[in-house]
Amino acid sequence: MKKDIILCGVGGQGILSIATIIGEAATKAGIHLKQAEVHGMSQRGGDVQSNLRLSTETIYSDLIALGSCDLIISMEPMEALRYLPYLSKDGVIVTSNKPLVNIPNYPEEKKLFEELAALPHVVQLDIEQVAKEAGNARGANVVLLGKAARYLEIVTPEQLREAVATIFARKGEAVVEANLKAFDAANEG
Amino acid sequence: MEKQLLLGDEAIALGAIHAGLSGVYAYPGTPSTEITEFIQTHPEARERGIRSRWCTNEKTAMEAALGMSYAGKRALVCMKHVGMNVCADAFVNSAITGVNGGLVVLAADDPSMHSSQNEQDSRFYGKFALVPILEPSNQQECYDMMQEAFALSERLKEPVLLRIVTRLAHSRAAVVTGEKRQQNAFSPSTDQWVLLPGIARQKYAALLEKQGAMEEEAEKSAFNRMEQGGNGRLGILACGIAYNYVKEAIGKEGHILKVSHYPLPQAQIQQLAHENEAILIVEDGQPVVEQDVKAMLGTGYKVLGRLTGHLPRTGELTPDNVAAALGKKCSTVYGKAQNVAVRPPQLCQGCGHRDVYGALRQIIEEMPDARVFGDIGCYTLGALPPFKALSSCVDMGASITMAKGAADAGLRPAIAVIGDSTFTHSGMTGLLDAINDNSPITVIISDNLTTGMTGGQDSAGLNKYEAICLGLGMDPAHLHVVTPLPKNIPAIAELIRQEIAYEGVSVIIPRRECIQTAARHAREKAKAQKAQ
């Protein structure tokens, strides 16, 4: 079994934390992993992405091939569309539905959402709202991971939940609790 | 033996620590920065007393590492590819002097220019200097090769170049760690490393004599490996990370020669050529090996690659372009989305560079003949809207010297914008030229107290900028420090106007801490207080 995942968003939205949590869960489960990140200049308000590959077999390429991505997890709706050529036929997009407009030529939102909605497997969520309701306004990225949990398949939502606890453990019990709440708020098992 | 999830950069760092490193010397540069950072914060490095503070530039780094090697200890120099240009004098000559303690030079190339101004291939430098090159294909090899690189360097008594690319530097995978070697004892060389012509000629001859031993090492290297397969039509020579894309595309089907240790293993290449009708060279970066193999096999043999259009001439390898070169169709389902706009990086909201450009924008609008020569750093983003303030950005330090040359030619006003870290890296000498010539230029040293673009590393000249400028001979009447804040933009613009009118060198230092490092320092302070 293999899962090729593109995590994307805008610099500073916390996609690398999502990658770290999935990576922890996969490593603990004994699954092979490669995760290509973007560091450097593109962090600053520009688009960022991470190619995360999980497999029960040896993984060679650090990058995902066009048309073969199983899951796009995006912190921002336009960014989800940026990687569309990588999505496989049955690939799923799990995305925030709140545009982050920091460029003058951001597309017309109505058209953007129409294009998203026309795709066969798209899950949208107001992750910031859910995070606020869960009492963890800074946990939108963990909410998104919770929403995407059931589509990962190669690791279970329960394994991901454990990884959330492990990753945030060094920040104290309160932070762990807050992030588990954020995860649970969107996780559909 | 322990398994860890590591970036390629981190695997190199840990490999170096375990290989008995005594000092790492580096200037930050994407994608190499994380190597030194890992060593700086690793408990084992602290226990072993590994020297790891940032250097002022790649040349000082290379020379200090050579000095550590002279004294008998193992040293690592890390840089991005263009850093090789900065340290080239020391690097090339370190092959002539030879080394004592193991010396490994790590160059991180950036094909596709994700965060760079060119995509030069550091393997040319290795060939040029006549030293062995190692090129890992994955994170495990990054770790393993550090051990081998130091051992090889000490066997041959020559520096070894280790070349990686962005995708390996910044990709994470599981790495199994191995044996830990002791550091070398202090034992300075008793040989003369004096490159006077008479001695240099002898040493150069000795270096040439070692080429045979270097080729032998590469020929029997465990990192170069033949994988039998295919139907005799096409042999594949895959260098470094290219091997992964080849395996991804064809699995066990092909006849593959994996090359990760140079000079090229000629006997194995001859065998691959003999058993196939043509060879496809798959290499990330420039067609270095393709040219060599073409020359080796002669015009009658078909060598395919970037020069023949089987792979793109520029840009990094991907699973897609390699699969296409191997005749595999890529199966995209969806085309490009309609409603996607380019989202370039931008200066942070609240960044002091923004206020500097706010003032410069006024000057440019008032004086259409004004030209602003930029430099390398976050502030290069001042070239993009909404500021559109820069006319040039070429290499570290070129802002001041280009402004000077343009002013010499009659350009007025000639303005240079350079960051604090870039100024100490390569700007100081140019400023001295300008002062000695009394060139009519206005230099803005935009000081955010850190090396911002690479993530906030120490800036070598912290708190010394006025003293440096005065020491170089600046007239104190034309040296100013201002605070870049939105409310101060009119006053800064007025100061620039005033200094532009002066027919000599002016330096204006807008100084305010990078908001990213300021936030980090505030968090660290809060944490420290909580701990008390």
CB contact at 8 A, A46 and A10: yes
Average pLDDT over every residue of B114-120 = 94
Phi and psi for B345 in degrees, rounded to 5?
Answer: -65, 160
Taking CB atoms and an 8 Å cutoff, what residues of chain A touch B453? 40-41
Helix (H) or strand (E) holding B97: helix B88-97
Q: Is B229 on the interface with A (CB under 8 A)?
A: no
How many Cβ atoms from other residues are within 10 Å of residue B42's Cβ? 17
Average pLDDT over every residue of B203-224 = 98
| A104 part of a folded domain | no
Inter-chain residue contact B331 with A23, CB threshold 8 Å: no
Inter-chain residue contact A27 with B5, CB threshold 8 Å: yes
> How much is the ipTM here?
0.94
Query: For chain B, which domains are there?
Result: 3-219 (3.40.50.970), 225-325 (3.40.50.920), 352-517 (3.40.50.970)
| A141 part of a folded domain | yes
pLDDT tens per residue across span A112-162: 999 999 999 999 999 999 999 999 999 999 999 999 999 999 999 999 999
Name the residue facing B340 among A38, A64, A78 (closest C-beta): A78
Inter-chain residue contact B346 with A23, CB threshold 8 Å: no
Please, which residues bridge with residue B103 across strands?
B75
How many angstroms away from the CA of B214 is the closest CA of chain A?
29
Q: Which amino acid is at B391?
A: S
Inter-chain residue contact A39 with B170, CB threshold 8 Å: yes
Average pLDDT over every residue of B259-270 = 98
Distance of alpha carbon B407 from alpha carbon B389, whole angstroms: 18
Taking CB atoms and an 8 Å cutoff, what residues of chain A touch B343? 10, 45-47, 78-79, 102-103
Give which of A164, A130, A65 is closest to B248, Cα–Cα: A65
Taking CB atoms and an 8 Å cutoff, what residues of chain B touch A111? 338-339
How many angstroms away from the CA of B244 is the closest CA of chain A?
5
How many angstroms away from the CA of A134 is the closest CA of chain B?
24
Q: B518: which 2 tokens?
A: 């300021």
The share of chain B scoring above pLDDT 70, in percent, equals: 100
Inter-chain residue contact B167 with A82, CB threshold 8 Å: no
Domain of A176? 2-99+118-186
Q: Is B453 on the interface with A (CB under 8 A)?
A: yes
Average pLDDT over every residue of B520-526 = 93
Confidence of residue B1 (pLDDT cuts 50, 70, 90): low
How many angstroms away from the CA of A179 is the closest CA of chain B?
20
| A43 part of a folded domain | yes
* pLDDT of B178 strictly over 80: yes
How many angstroms away from the CA of B296 is the closest CA of chain A?
30
Q: Residue A177 is part of a domain; what is its CATH number?
A: 3.40.920.10
Summarize chain B as % helix, strand, coil (round to 5): 45, 15, 40
Confidence of residue B329 (pLDDT cuts 50, 70, 90): confident
How many angstroms away from the CA of B84 is the closest CA of chain A?
19
Residue with tokens 């279970």: A156
Number of domains making up chain A: 1
pLDDT of residue B330: 77
Q: Is B33 on the interface with A (CB under 8 A)?
A: yes
Residues with Cβ < 8 Å from B318, sequence gap 6 or more? A63, A65, B245
* pLDDT of B85 strictly over 90: yes
Distance of alpha carbon B5 from alpha carbon A123, whole angstroms: 30
Inter-chain residue contact B170 with A107, CB threshold 8 Å: no
Cα dihedral B68→B70→B72→B76 (10° resolution): 40
* pLDDT of B403 strictly over 80: yes
Distance of alpha carbon B255 from alpha carbon B506, whole angstroms: 64
Give which of B499, A154, A59 is closest to A51, Cα–Cα: A59
Cα dihedral B93→B99→B104→B106 (10° resolution): -10
pLDDT of residue A43: 61
* pLDDT of A41 strictly over 80: no
| A109 part of a folded domain | no
DSSP string, B136-181: -SSHHHHHHHHHHHHHHHHHHTS-EEEEEEHHHHTEEEEEE----P
Q: Is B341 on the interface with A (CB under 8 A)?
A: yes
| A85 part of a folded domain | yes
Nearest CA in chain A to B3: A27
| A108 part of a folded domain | no
| A169 part of a folded domain | yes
Phi and psi for B417 in degrees, rounded to 5?
Answer: -120, 125
| A105 part of a folded domain | no
The 10 Å CB-count burial string (b at 16+, else e) for A143-168 is bbbbbbbbbbebbebebbbbbbbebb
Give which of B403, B380, B366, B371 is closest to B494, Cα–Cα: B366
pLDDT of residue A40: 64
Taking CB atoms and an 8 Å cutoff, what residues of chain A touch B338? 107, 111, 115
